[in-house]
């Protein structure tokens, strides 16, 4: 484990599951995918890919991992290896230069379903909440979505995935949550009993 990794960070948990996979517990790869897929999706999207290309890029990364599992010398480095693989594949497919920085991230992540059918199933407070989440800036929505997928956010991994300095993640998250809190508190329908 690296000197900076927290014992139960996303990278450490994925590394443990990957080590078990390489030791013969093939079912543990599903755990690795579940843990890391949201970060890889965000990484692909942050490189300027459309949703279909992002899905292909992430799939290629997983295939390369399975084909070359022995190339990841340290299981704790798995997340970084996958992020680099996703970025390189995204650059290859989009023809972007590595020095280009995406100007915006978008919120096409498949994990949050805001379709009319899904919204109809939500109670009123949830509808109000998601309405205000959708009004946040793209940067806020992206950051909150990535953090929402990790029960113990690993800021180094989030930094790599989103291209944000580690030191700005916490303050940005705080500002985004404050903006959401203010919007909810000013909405008279929030928290109203039905």
pLDDT at 30: 92
What's the CA gap between 175 and 181, in Å, rounded?
10
For the chain, give every domain's residue range: 10-186
Ramachandran region, residue 192 (left: φ > 0; alpha: ψ -120 to 50; beta: rest): beta
pLDDT at 31: 92
Q: Please name the residue that has the structure tokens 């680099």.
A: 84
Give me the tens of pLDDT residue by residue for the chain, a chain 194 residues long: 444 455 667 788 889 999 999 999 999 999 999 989 888 888 888 777 888 898 999 999 999 998 888 888 888 888 888 988 888 888 888 875 443 433 333 344 334 444 455 545 556 677 788 788 888 887 888 787 777 655 566 777 777 767 788 888 889 988 998 998 898 889 888 766 55
pLDDT at 99: 38
Please tell me the pTM assigned to this model. Answer: 0.55
pLDDT at 116: 53
Q: What does the H/E/C string look like for 1-52? A: CCCCCCCCCHHHHHHHHHHHHHCCCCCHHHHHHHHHHHHHHHHHHHCCCCHH
140, 107 Cβ separation under 8 angstroms: no
Q: Would you give the DSSP letter of residue 144?
A: H
Q: Would you give the DSSP letter of residue 175?
A: H
pLDDT at 108: 41
pLDDT at 19: 93
Question: What are the residue ranges of helices labelled H in the chain?
Answer: 10-22, 28-46, 51-67, 78-94, 116-121, 124-135, 138-148, 155-162, 166-186
């Amino acid at each position: 484990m690296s000197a900076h990794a927290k014992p139960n960070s996303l990278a450490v948990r994925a590394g443990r599951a990957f080590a078990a996979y390489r030791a013969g517990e093939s079912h543990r790869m599903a755990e690795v995918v579940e843990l890391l897929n949201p970060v890889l999706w965000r990484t692909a999207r942050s490189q300027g890919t459309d949703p279909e290309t992002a899905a292909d890029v992430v799939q290629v990364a997983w295939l390369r991992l399975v084909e070359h599992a022995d190339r990841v010398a340290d299981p704790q480095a798995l997340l970084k290896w996958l992020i680099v693989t996703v970025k390189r594949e995204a650059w290859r497919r989009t023809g972007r230069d590595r020095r280009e920085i995406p100007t915006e991230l978008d919120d096409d992540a498949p994990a949050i379903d805001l379709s009319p059918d899904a919204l109809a199933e939500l109670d009123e407070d949830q509808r109000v909440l998601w309405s205000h989440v959708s009004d946040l800036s793209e940067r806020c929505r992206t950051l909150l979505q990535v953090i929402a997928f990790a029960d113990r956010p690993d800021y180094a991994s989030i930094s790599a995935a989103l291209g944000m300095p580690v030191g700005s993640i916490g303050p940005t998250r705080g500002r985004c949550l404050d903006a959401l809190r203010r919007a909810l508190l000013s909405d008279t329908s929030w928290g109203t009993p039905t």
